[in-house]
Structures are given as C-alpha cells and as structure tokens.
Amino acid sequence: MRDVSIVGIGQTKVGEHWELSLKELATHAILDAIKDAKIDRVDSLYVGNMLSGELTGQEHIGALVSDFAGLRGVEAIKIEAACGSGAAALRVGYVAVAGELSDFVIVCGVEKMTDRPGEQVTAGLATAADGDFEAQQGISFVAINALLMRRYMYTHNVLHEAFAPFAINAHKNAVNNPNAMFPYAITAADFKKAKMIAEPINLLDSSPVCDGAAALVLCPTEIARRFIDTPVRIRACAIGTDSIALHDRRDILKLEGAAISATKAYTQAGVGPQDIDLFEVHDAFTIMSVLSLEACGFAEHGQATRLGLDGQIGIEGKVPLTTMGGLKARGHPVGATGVYQIVEVVQQLRGQAGQNQVAEAQLGMAQNIGGSGATVITTILESLA
C-alpha cells in the first residue's frame, strides 16, 4: 500500500444550470482539475452520482463522461451510495492508487437535479430511504430527517433555535465562495421566521435541490510534487454502514455508520477529533450536522448544538465547520457533494480559502453521509505544503 495525494481540484458553481447537461457539468469540473494538476495522463475515472437514471434518463455515465471529457478508453465506472456517492467514488479511487493498480485517477461527483419537477426530485431522493418500510409508506426524505430532529429535541430537551448557528455559519461562509449557490448572510430572525418544510425542519434547516460537479486528481504522494507545490495527502478515507431504515437502528440518535467510519479513519490516520483543524460536516439538514459531530467525537451525545451556541464553529472557532458554505449554502447536488467537500478541504490546506482561510490549517476532515446515516464516508486530509 502506498501513500496517496490530491494534486488537482475542479468545480462548477452550484446552482440551477438549465443550460448545462450532466456530462457538461462533469466535464467542466474534470478539465479544471486536470488543468490544476497539469497531468498529461489519466488511468481511471470514478464518477459519484445518485440520480442520473431517475432524473436525466441516463445510466452508464462512467463511459459517457469519460468520452465527453476526452478520456475515451480509460477505466470508467459510476459509484452510487445515495448522498454519499461522491466520497464513495473517492474511496474507490483512493484504493486504486493506494493499492498500486492506478497512478493517475480522476474522481468526479456530479448531479443534475433541477430540470425535473419538484415531486420527481422528492421521489428520487426517497430512493435513498428504505423502499419497503419508509418510502413506500409515503414518507419523504425531509420527513425522515424531521423525525430524527423531533426525537433529538425531545430526548435532549433542545429548542429549535439551538440549530440556527449551523445555518447562519454556513451562509456567512458562503458569502466568500464564488461557487456557492446562496452567497448571502442570514440572521437568527431569518431562521426563526423561515417557512416550515416538515416540522420541525424549516427552509433554513435544509440544503437546496441544485446542480453541480466537482473533481479531484489523485496520484501517489511520492510523485505529487512533480505536479504541484502544495499536495494534500489522504491520511484516511473509510466507509461505515448502518441500516437504511430508522426503525432498524439500535438508537436512532446515534449514527453508528458515522461512528464506524470515523473510528476507522482516526485509526488509519493516527489522530483524533482534537487534531482536526476544520470539518466539512454533512449539513444536509441541521440535525444531520449535530448527529455527525456527536458520532465523530466532537461533542458528547446531546451536546453538539452547544458548539454552535458557544461560537466554536466559525472560521476562528475550535471546530470550524462548512467553511465554504456547506451543503446548506454552497449547495447539495447530492452525488457531487462528497467531492465538493474534499475540494474545499484541499483549498483550506493549500491556503487558498481566501477570506475564509482557517489559520494554519494542517489537518482537515470531511464526512459525507448517504441517506439518514446508512452509508458514511470519512476522509482525513493533511497539508504537505
């Protein structure tokens, strides 16, 4: 097994790209990443995507994207793990380079959601839930998260307003991200009066439906400096799983898949949550940030909202979160999100995060979650600059 680094990143702006198709979005991100890395060879391409079949009528996007991006012939496949598809593709790419089966790998996450009516998107997202026991009973994916949030508030005696800092922080950081979908600040008052979606989840607890693509170039660390002065080493990339259906979990407020994934990653990297300089948390809903932080050891169970209320999640806080806007404000093109998170950690570790730069960031973490916690991928990255 050999060490792996990221030597190139690319991304499109997140938003409603009615003028760009899935393969065009993916190609923009891939070509940006290749240009950034200045590589002249690609061995394989792993495309993270959830809903190309349901929302664009196109499967087989590994070959499609590879051809359109000028990479015809290379190994190319699609990786799917619901909203965790992007980082699952990174895991496959990481294994290929670490295991010495590929030298130059492109990992791309892409999703195209906004060309379809909302009810079709809602039905598509519900395919991340258990078809027999959840989706078929008529519950939407937002409603599943609402059950979790309601239970959390009841069990831990937490008010809805305690979740506001996660959304406020994400929007504040998005202001300085030119690729963010919602680059504007919100206030506690905005959060309080936001439209209810599925009680207690309101519009500002929720990440948006959107389009986007992000890409990475991976290669062995031993040759990374040939391409870039600031390679970012993948210290760990690990997957844990849990039941899809909430009723099958031992404790619905403890994300066991996230705990397994984070424990594997910490062990592989030889670090703990106290060593992490910034954390790209999977804030699809504010409740998911809270459960993820607790599963990863950044807070005791029932305590994660304290991090926000105590001002510890900002760029200068103890645990900077969603430093470029997160799923909430950068946007959540579901199968692409896991790759966007990694691109942003790389920006931080290269010192390229502009006004959102976390001072002296050496070790960054991202956690990408599929469904309501059934597939969780934790990645720990280290600056080699």
- The footprint of a second copy (CB under 8 A) covers 1, 21, 44, 50-51, 53-54, 56-60, 62-64, 66-67, 72-82, 88, 91-92, 95-96, 98-101, 123-124, 126-132, 135-136, 238-244, 248, 256-257, 260, 370-371, 374-375
372 with 359: CB under 8 angstroms?
no
Active site (annotated) includes residue 28: no
Annotated catalytic residue: which of 17, 28, 83, 108? 83
Of 45 and 276, nearer to a second copy (C-beta) is 45
Min CB(244)–a second copy separation in Å: 5
Which of 31, 36, 44, 37 is closest to 99 using CA atoms?
44
Min CB(154)–a second copy separation in Å: 26
Residue 82 to residues 65, 111, 121, Cα–Cα distance (Å)? 19, 11, 13
Of 82 and 228, nearer to a second copy (C-beta) is 82
* Token pair of 211 as six digits: 């389009």
Annotated catalytic residue: which of 17, 171, 282, 332? 332
How many Å apart are CA 25 and CA 109, to the nearest integer? 10
| CB-based contacts of 117-124 (< 8 A; 24+ apart in sequence) | 118/209, 120/54, 120/55, 121/55, 121/209, 123/54, 124/50, 124/51, 124/54, 124/55
Min CB(263)–a second copy separation in Å: 11
* Token pair of 380 as six digits: 């720990």
Query: Could you identify the residue written with the tokens 């280290």?
Result: 382
Pairing type for strands 278-280 and 363-370 reads: parallel
Min CB(114)–a second copy separation in Å: 17
Of 66 and 202, nearer to a second copy (C-beta) is 66
Of 124 and 320, nearer to a second copy (C-beta) is 124
Min CB(323)–a second copy separation in Å: 27
Active site (annotated) includes residue 332: yes
* Token pair of 336 as six digits: 């692409």
Of 148 and 374, nearer to a second copy (C-beta) is 374
Which of 332, 334, 337, 341 is closest to 380 using CA atoms?
341
Active site residues: 83, 332
